[in-house]
Structures are given as C-alpha cells and as structure tokens.
Amino acid sequence: MSAYLPVLIFAVLIVAFGVVSLAVARLARPSRPDVVKLANYECGAEPIGPAWVRFPVGFYLVALLFIIFDTLAVFLFPWALVLKPLGLSAFWVMAAFIGIVGLGWIYAYREGVLEWK
C-alpha cells in the first residue's frame, strides 16, 4: 500500500492547489459586478439556441472504429511483454488477430465510413 503513498500525496497536492488558489483569489480580488461583466462570454457572441444539437451519425461510426481498435491495442500490451519468451508462435498469433480485425478496417474504408462529408 505504501507504494501508492506518493500517488496519494500527489493527488492531495493537486486538489489543494486548485482549492487554495481559488480561495486566495476570492479573498484578495475586488468584487464589483455589473451587467456587462455578468454577460456570457462566448467568443464575443451571445450563444443562440439550445445546447442539444443533433450530431451527424458519422461521428458515431468513427467512435465505433475507435472502440474496436482500442480493444485491439489493449491486447497488444501483454503480447509485447511475452513476445520474447514465447517467440515466433506468439508473433503469428497476433498477426492473425490483427489481420482479421484489419479486414474490418478495409471494409470500413470500402464502405466509405472514413470519408468525411
């Protein structure tokens, strides 16, 4: 458990930095609000319309490709660690894995998912 003590100390420091600096700023700064100062600042323009804007489904499809290859990446970590002792057999197993999932990438490419319109 003590191995994680530095992490804990670090986490406490991070939180403390935010809290302390905000608290000090609040105590030290002058507070004179008026209408202009309290207006929303959004690159100089008043925000219009609801925040619920429907996104095109293309975003979702790219996220989907991400999840598949993310899972593939996680499989690579243990593989990298045992590649040396297990030798070529582990290499070919992984090559087959990546090859099969890679076919999916070619399919996605051919179906035009990656073309951003």
Residues binding another protein (CB under 8 A): 1, 4, 52-57, 59-61, 63-68, 70-75, 77-79, 81-82, 85-86, 89-90, 93, 96-98, 100-101, 103-104, 106-108, 110-113, 115
Please state, in angstroms and rounded to a whole number, the distance separating the CA atoms of residues 98 and 17. Answer: 44
Nearer to another protein by Cβ, of 8 and 23: the residue is: 8
Write down the least CB distance from residue 19 to another protein, Å.
18
Closest approach of Cβ 88 to another protein, in Å?
11
What DSSP line would sit under 1-30, residue for residue? -GGGHHHHHHHHHHHHHHHHHHHHHHHHS-
- If the CB atoms of residues 11 and 23 are measured against another protein, the closer one turns out to be 11
Cα dist from 117 to 56, 57, 58, 103, whole Å: 10, 11, 9, 23
